[in-house]
Amino acid sequence: MGETNKQEFVTQVTVKGDFLVHFYLSIKKEMEKINKSHWENVYQTKDTTQVGWFQGTPKVSIDLISGTKISGTTSVIDVGGGDGALVDWLLEEGFEKITVLDISASALEKSKIRLGEPSSKVLWEACDILDFEPKKKFDLWHDRAVFHFLTNPKDQQIYRRLVECSIHSGGFLLVMTFSKSGPTTCSGLTVQQYDIQDLEEFFVQEFELIQSLNYDHITPSGTAQNYSVALFRRK
Domain ranges (residues) in the chain: 59-234
126: left (phi over 0), alpha (psi -120 to 50) or beta: beta
User: Residues 167, 173: contact at Cβ < 8 Å?
Assistant: yes
pLDDT tens for 205-235 read: 999 999 999 999 999 999 999 999 999 999 9
Give dist(CA 128, CA 226) in Å, integer: 25
Nearest Cα neighbor of 100 from 125, 72, 75 is 125
Q: What is the pLDDT of residue 7?
A: 55
* Average pLDDT, rounded, for the chain: 89
Mutual angle of helices 153-166 and 196-203, in 10-degree steps = 60
170: left (phi over 0), alpha (psi -120 to 50) or beta: left
Give dist(CA 82, CA 80) in Å, integer: 5
pLDDT tens for 95-122 read: 999 999 999 999 999 999 999 999 999 9
The pTM (predicted TM-score) of the whole model is 0.86
User: Residues 169, 104: contact at Cβ < 8 Å?
Assistant: no
**Fold of the 59-234 domain:** Rossmann fold (3.40.50)
